[in-house]
Amino acid sequence: MRILGIETSCDETGVALYDSDCGIVADALYSQIELHAEYGGVVPELASRDHVRKLIPLIKEVMAKAGSQPADLDAIAYTAGPGLVGALMVGASVAKSLAYAWGIPALSVHHMEGHLLAPLLEDPAPQAPFVALLVSGGHTQLVNVASIGQYQILGESLDDAAGEAFDKTAKMLGLGYPGGPNVAKAAQQGNASRFRFPRPMVDRPGLDFSFSGLKTFTLNTRNKCAEADAGLTPEDVADIAWAFQDAVVDTLTIKCKRALKQTGSKQLVVAGGVSANLLLREKLADMVAKLGAQVFYPQLRFCTDNGAMIAFAGYQRMLAGQEADLKVKVRARWPMTEL
């Protein structure tokens, strides 16, 4: 069975072809980072227009790489939400149009389910049940996965997602967009002993997250340094970046440990853009080793938004008997609990 996957939820245009016998046959990704960098964040209208410009050429590229024709496909999977409505509409309308022309179904896929399932493309792959940490620019969630399609939200961010907090911190420090990689790079030169930032919501029970207070603490520290030094020095930027990243990573690690103990699971799946953070991987590896558990990630290139995870999720949805019609329906907000 061959599924073409299309991802256009935000600022990456991703296309991939998944084969049930041999995995990902071909994939291509176009990032809009340079387009949005001068604005310090994603501009929805520009994102939508760029998806229109890039999607069809990427589909042709992937089909050519795979040596496939439309007749070889069994379905098209596309991201239907959550995400930017205009961007989602581009992928959905192209998927539905091609599905109609090629006489195959077009399957709607939940963006975060795509991230959650991405580590299952690897070898070895986790086997349900497991706990998943989904951590990206728009979401921070802990999910108890009983089986594919059966998800219980254990905890989630009550305000800013971790990735969003990274982006805002990068902007405060003049590090530009995207925030996560830039803060992590600056933190490499940081003095680990200069600042100690709070670990939000770890001193109370539960598995929810909150990063808005940490963001405010970071801003106050930045302003104090700027006043004392008549402007931020490179050392200030690096030290603040280190303290912020360390606080976020510690918070995520503590909550993951609680979730594993609460569920009794010995498997942790980590996915989403922030899962590429090296300090997070280091601390989670140490934590799961002490618990006698395992942690699983997607390939680094599949941590950010991509077509491969959508193609694979579409395949799983097809196996589950999901119905498809030609109506173009997308959802900017779409809780995983409604799957």
Distance CA 314, CA 336 (A): 15
In this predicted structure, what is the pLDDT of residue 36?
94
Contact by Cβ (8 Å): 313, 80: no
- Would you state the pLDDT for residue 326? 84
pLDDT at 229: 78
**How do 294-296 and 267-271 pair as beta strands?**
parallel
DSSP class of residue 156 equals E
Extract the tokens encoding 225: 């340094």
Q: What are 133-186's pLDDT values in tens digits?
A: 999 988 999 999 999 999 999 999 999 999 999 999 999 999 988 889 999 999
pLDDT of residue 40: 86
Under DSSP, the state recorded for 168 is H
Nearest-angstrom CA–CA distance, 75 and 107: 7
Q: Which parts of the chain sit beneath pLDDT 70?
A: none
- pLDDT value of residue 337: 86
Q: What pLDDT sits at residue 207? A: 97
Span between the terminal Cα atoms of the chain, in Å: 23
Amino acid letter at 47? A
Token code pair at residue 314: 């579409």
Spatial contact of 217 and 270, defined as CB atoms under 8 Å apart? no
SS3 of residue 268 by DSSP: strand
Residue pair 26/65 in contact by the 8 Å Cβ criterion: yes
Place of tokens 């970071």: 218
Contact 288, 253 (CB under 8 A): no
